[in-house]
Every structure is written in structure tokens, then in C-alpha cells.
């Protein structure tokens, strides 16, 4: 299978480990990724707050080359993914808006490339293919799969999975031998980019998520979103200081755990770029 | 002493103009809201005391035509657009879309005082991607901190972040780095022409 690939700004900067692990897992599953040439920022989380058209036109251009190649497109960043989904939604349902978007980008976009989240693209490879690729099943590792908001809300636009009880990442974790824990905060918001506007509120929001994951018996939290990963991981030391907690739970991308189960070393997929140490947790499995 | 009696239907008739403009901007009819409060009960920002006015009250304020007050709330800027409210609204209102529309209206009116850092954040973000085509995170972090003092909160994790190679020191490099600026200029032209018609 071949997809167009839109890494987005985060995967070239704060979320390099996501980029590395997505590429690694896709390679192992014979999924070919063709990076959109000269892609630009999707505009999240600001362009749409200056105008609906601006919020659509900025990410729209990225879809043009994918469409020309006749490829569906994979966008691993949750915010990029949702912005692209919005573009397709408007182009396919609102002819006036389609005309305006095309005028703004100076190109013809018809909304024919499906925009896929990375979990959809990986799950589409099939259970058999995934289980064949596993070399070191993550036995005994209790994983809290954290989906955040953008993949499942608002449900009319973003419907990768159920908005309250999604299971797609849980299934992928089970497929590589880990043990997904059932927990209630799978789609509770971490605060996202509010981190840069109202720090204390974000800290309180992220703390709730980490707290419930720990109380649900998880050894590790996995995410599919760069800003979720950053907030839950980087802010743990701050949470401990402010709330007197003692959190020390690693937070990584679900693709990083998949890559490790498929035989890659954690460093090869950027796990050493995460903040909370993961070594002793991973040593538990197997 | 009895509470003041409000005739909501009358009030909505008298102030229908604002709710109608919000509908045009967001595609959402806020008149449908019947104040069940589910949006506020599930709002993660409100539950962490980040808002000055709860989401269901914002909906009521829009219904009552309280434009001047609603555009000056912190809530509309602090909403993180997680859309939990939208997912749970029994009246099928995309409340997050309404919040985004209210931001646009407040920005157009140049009302910035209730959420200064949010306004600076979004403006600097746009300027950054207009200049580089992609987000130059390190440049943004330094500029934003100098302007707001904000990221001093994160100063202690800064060195680790740089050492781990999680922030690129140099600006992103691409062929056509002015494409977002060009798109933004086109959008401005299109919207200006629409305004004239």
C-alpha cells in the first residue's frame, strides 16, 4: 500500500520520535510513504481563529499533490489530521467554499484523497500482517491508550473512532502483545496548546489524565498526538512540584511501542527524546 | 425581593441580530440551546477553573444579544476547541465552532484585553508561518517569551529540550516559504470583495 505522507511541523521538531516510529512501523508493514513535496504548515492552532476560510485555505494546498498522484494521505499529527479532514469535508459538501478555497490557493482541489490518521493506515495493514511483524511481544506491559480530542471530536467531522470509548489504539497494542487497560479518560483533553496561553489550567488538565492513567494500573501511556505527548510527558515534573504527586510514568507514541515490539531499538525510534525514563518499564515486559 | 423576570422570547426578538450574525459566521443556531448544561459539565477547561463564564452561559448570552459582554469574556479565547461539548450537545449545536466564531468577531473588533496572551500567541503564530512556511518553534518560543514572559514557566525544561534535539535551532527550510503569506493575502482579497457585495 502507498500513501502520501504529511509529517507537519511538529514531526520535524518536538515530535521527531513520532516521525521516526511511524516510518519504521510502516516500513515493516510494507506501507510506502511518499512525502508531499514542499509541504507547508497546516495553520493549527491559530489560522482558523482568524477566519473560517483562512483556516481551510492554509492546509488545503498540502492536499493538491496527493490528489494529483491519486493517493490517500496520512497525517500523523492529530491537529494536522483534523485540519485536513475539515478541508475535505468543506470541499465535498460546500461548492461555494470549495470555489473560494481553490481561488485562495490558486489550484484545483476536488477532495478526492482520503485523509487518514496513522492508526487507520496501520490498522488497514491487517491483524495478520501486524502479528507476523512482531518479534518481541510486549508481554505483561499495561498500556493506557490515550486518544485525546482531535481524532474523535467533533464526531461529525472527526470520526476515527467512538468519541467516548475509542478502541483502535488499544487493539493495535493488543496486537503487539501488550495489555491495554480500560480507563475512563481516553478522550479527556490534555489542554493542548493552551499550555502556551494559560499554563496553570493546562497543568491541572494534564494532571487529571496522568492521575487516572496511573490509578487505572497503567505502566505506560501511549498517544497519537504530538501535543498530548508533550503535555503528559514534559509536564510531569511540574505536576509533581505543584500537586505533590509522585508521577513517573513514561509517555510515548503508540508507534514507538509498536516499532519496539517489531524489533527496533527504542533509540532508533526516538524514545530517548521523551522526558520520563522508559527503560525500567520496558524491561518489565517479555 | 423577587428576581427580575426576563421574557426570553421577547429578548431574543429584540436582539435577534447578534444570534443571526453568529449563525452566519459559525453555521450554528444558538437559539436551539435549552440550557441543559451538558457542555459546561463536560468542559475540561471549565472544570479546571480556566474560564470566567461557563460555556452554557455563553450560549445564553448569545441568545440574549449580549454582544459587548460575550466578546469580552476570557472563555472564548481560553476554549481549547476539544469539542467535548459539541460531541455531547443534545441540541446538536457545534459549540466549539461558536466559540471559534466569537473569537473571530472579537478579533475583528480588536477586543484583546480579556486574553492578551492568547491574542499575542495567535498573532505571532500566524506571522511565524507566514514568514517561514512552516513553524519555526525555537524562534517562536524565544519571541513569545520576550513579548509575554510566558515560557519562563518552561525555562527549566528548555536545556533538556534542546539537548534531546526536540527543538530545531535553525529555521525550517523549504523551497517556497512564502506560500502561506500568499494564501493569506488571497483570502484577504476574497473576503474584501465579498464585503463589498
Q: Same domain, yes or no, for A142 and A58? A: no
Q: Which range, A135-139, B122-126, B140-144, is most confident?
A: A135-139
Q: Same domain, yes or no, for A207 and A95? A: no
Tens-place pLDDT, residues A28-49? 999 999 999 999 999 998 998 8
Find, in chain A, the residue whose alpha carbon is nearest to that of B49: A201
Q: Same domain, yes or no, for A109 and A198? A: no
Buried b (16+ CB within 10 A) or exposed e, B21-40: ebbebbebebbebeeeebbb
Tens-place pLDDT, residues A66-123? 999 999 999 999 999 999 999 999 999 999 999 999 999 999 999 999 999 999 999 9
ipTM of model = 0.91
Q: Would you say residue B12 has pLDDT above 90?
A: no
Distance CA B197, CA A242 (A): 55
pLDDT (0 to 100) of residue B197: 60
Span A193-218, average pLDDT: 94
Q: Where are the domains of chain B?
A: 8-110, 114-196
Distance CA A269, CA A136 (A): 15
> Taking the CA of residue A248 as centre, how many other CA atoms within 13 Å lie in the half-sphere pointing to its CB?
6
B8-110 adopts what CATH topology? Fumarate Reductase Iron-sulfur Protein; Chain B, domain 2 (1.10.1060)
Residue B129 and residue A43: Cβ atoms within 8 Å? yes
Q: Would you say residue B1 has pLDDT above 60?
A: no
Q: Would you say residue A130 has pLDDT above 70?
A: yes
Sheet order of strands, A115-116 included: A32-35, A2-5, A73-74, A115-116
Distance CA A97, CA A104 (A): 10
pLDDT (0 to 100) of residue A286: 62
User: Contact, B104 vs A49, CB < 8 A?
Assistant: yes
Q: Would you say residue B45 has pLDDT above 70?
A: yes
pLDDT (0 to 100) of residue B130: 95
Residue A13 and residue B176: Cβ atoms within 8 Å? no
Residues 6+ apart with CB under 8 A from B41: none
Q: How far is B158 from chain A (nearest CA, A)?
A: 10
CA A26 to chain centre: 15
Q: Would you say residue A193 has pLDDT above 90?
A: no
Average pLDDT, chain B: 90
Distance CA A23, CA A125 (A): 14
Q: Specify the residue for cell string 472544570.
A: B47
Distance CA A261, CA A258 (A): 5
Residues in chain B within 8 Å Cβ distance of A48: 100
Q: Which of A220-229, B14-23, B116-125, B176-185 has the lowest mean pLDDT?
A: B116-125
Question: For residue A124, is it within any domain?
Answer: no
Distance CA A189, CA A204 (A): 11
Q: Which has more pLDDT, B39 or B141?
A: B39
Supply the CATH number for residue A156's domain: 3.40.50.11810
Q: How far is CA B29 from CA A94, B62, B89, B98, in A?
A: 18, 10, 13, 9
Q: How far is A54 from chain B (nearest CA, A)?
A: 6
Find, in chain B, the residue whose alpha carbon is nearest to that of A188: B44
Q: Would you say residue A272 has pLDDT above 70?
A: yes
The minimal CB distance from B125 to the residues A39, A46, A201 is found for A46
pLDDT (0 to 100) of residue B157: 79
The minimal CB distance from B175 to the residues A38, A57, A205 is found for A38
Question: For residue A130, is it within any domain?
Answer: no
Residue A41 and residue B129: Cβ atoms within 8 Å? yes
User: Contact, A3 vs A72, CB < 8 A?
Assistant: yes
Q: Which triple of cell numbers denotes residue A202?
A: 493546562
Q: How far is B82 from chain A (nearest CA, A)?
A: 5
Average pLDDT, chain A: 96
Total domains present in chain A: 2
Q: How far is A191 from chain B (nearest CA, A)?
A: 7
Amino acid at each position: 500500500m502507498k500513501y502520501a505522507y504529511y509529517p507537519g511541523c511538529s514531526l520535524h521538531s518536538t515530535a521527531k520520535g513520532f516521525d521516526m516510529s511511524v516510518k519504521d512501523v510502516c516500513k515493516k508493514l510494507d506501507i510506502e510513504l511518499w512525502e508531499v513535496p514542499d509541504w507547508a504548515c497546516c495553520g493549527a492552532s491559530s489560522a482558523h481563529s482568524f477566519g473560517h476560510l483562512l483556516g481551510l485555505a492554509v492546509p488545503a494546498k498540502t492536499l493538491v499533490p496527493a490528489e494529483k498522484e491519486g493517493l490517500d494521505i496520512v497525517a500523523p499529527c492529530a491537529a494536522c489530521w483534523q485540519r485536513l479532514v475539515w478541508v475535505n469535508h468543506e470541499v465535498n459538501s460546500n461548492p461555494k467554499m470549495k470555489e473560494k478555497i481553490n481561488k485562495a490557493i490558486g489550484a484545483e482541489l476536488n477532495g478526492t484523497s482520503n485523509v487518514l490518521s496513522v492508526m487507520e493506515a496501520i490498522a488497514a495493514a491487517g491483524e495478520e500482517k501486524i502479528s507476523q511483524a512482531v518479534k518481541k511481544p510486549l508481554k505483561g506491559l499495561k498500556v493506557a491508550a490515550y486518544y485525546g480530542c482531535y481524532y474523535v471530536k467533533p464526531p461529525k467531522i472527526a470520526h476515527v473512532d467512538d468519541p467516548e470509548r475509542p478502541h483502535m489504539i488499544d487493539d493495535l497494542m493488543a496486537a503487539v502483545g501488550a495489555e491495554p487497560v480500560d480507563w475512563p479518560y481516553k478522550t479527556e483533553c490534555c489542554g493542548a496548546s493552551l499550555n502556551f496561553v494559560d499554563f496553570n489550567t493546562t497543568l491541572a488538565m494534564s494532571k487529571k489524565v496522568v492521575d487516572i492513567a496511573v490509578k487505572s494500573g497503567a505502566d505506560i501511556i501511549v498517544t497519537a498526538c504530538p501535543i498530548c505527548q508533550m503535555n503528559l510527558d514534559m509536564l510531569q515534573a511540574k505536576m509533581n512540584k505543584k500537586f505533590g504527586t509522585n508521577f513517573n510514568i513514561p509517555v510515548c507514541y503508540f508507534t514507538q511501542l509498536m516499532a519496539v515490539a517489531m524489533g527496533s531499538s527504542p533509540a532508533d525510534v526516538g524514545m530517548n527524546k521523551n522526558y520520563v525514563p522508559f527503560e525500567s518499564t520496558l524491561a518489565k515486559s517479555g | 425581593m423577587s428576581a427580575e423576570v426576563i421574557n426570553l422570547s421577547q429578548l431574543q426578538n429584540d436582539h435577534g441580530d447578534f444570534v443571526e450574525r453568529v449563525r452566519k459566521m459559525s453555521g450554528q443556531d444558538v437559539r436551539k440551546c435549552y440550557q441543559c448544561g451538558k457542555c459546561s459539565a463536560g468542559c475540561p477547561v471549565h472544570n479546571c477553573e480556566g474560564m470566567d463564564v461557563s460555556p452554557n452561559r455563553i450560549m445564553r448570552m448569545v441568545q440574549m444579544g449580549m454582544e459587548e459582554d460575550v466578546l469580552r469574556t476570557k472563555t472564548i479565547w481560553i476554549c481549547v476547541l476539544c469539542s467535548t461539548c459539541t460531541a455531547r450537545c443534545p441540541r446538536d449545536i457545534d459549540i466549539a465552532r461558536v466559540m471559534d466564531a466569537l473569537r473571530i468577531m472579537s478579533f475583528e473588533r480588536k477586543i484583546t484585553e480579556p486574553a492578551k496572551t492568547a491574542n499575542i500567541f495567535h498573532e505571532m503564530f500566524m506571522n511565524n508561518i507566514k514568514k517561514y512556511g512552516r513553524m519555526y518553534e525555537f524562534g517562536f518560543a524565544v519571541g513569545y517569551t520576550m513579548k509575554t514572559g510566558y515560557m519562563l514557566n518552561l525555562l527549566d525544561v528548555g536545556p533538556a529540550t534542546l539537548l534531546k534535539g526536540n527543538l530545531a535551532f535553525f529555521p525550517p527550510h523549504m523551497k517556497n516559504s512564502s506560500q502561506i503569506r500568499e494564501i493569506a493575502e488571497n483570502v484577504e482579497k476574497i473576503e474584501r470583495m465579498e464585503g463589498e457585495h
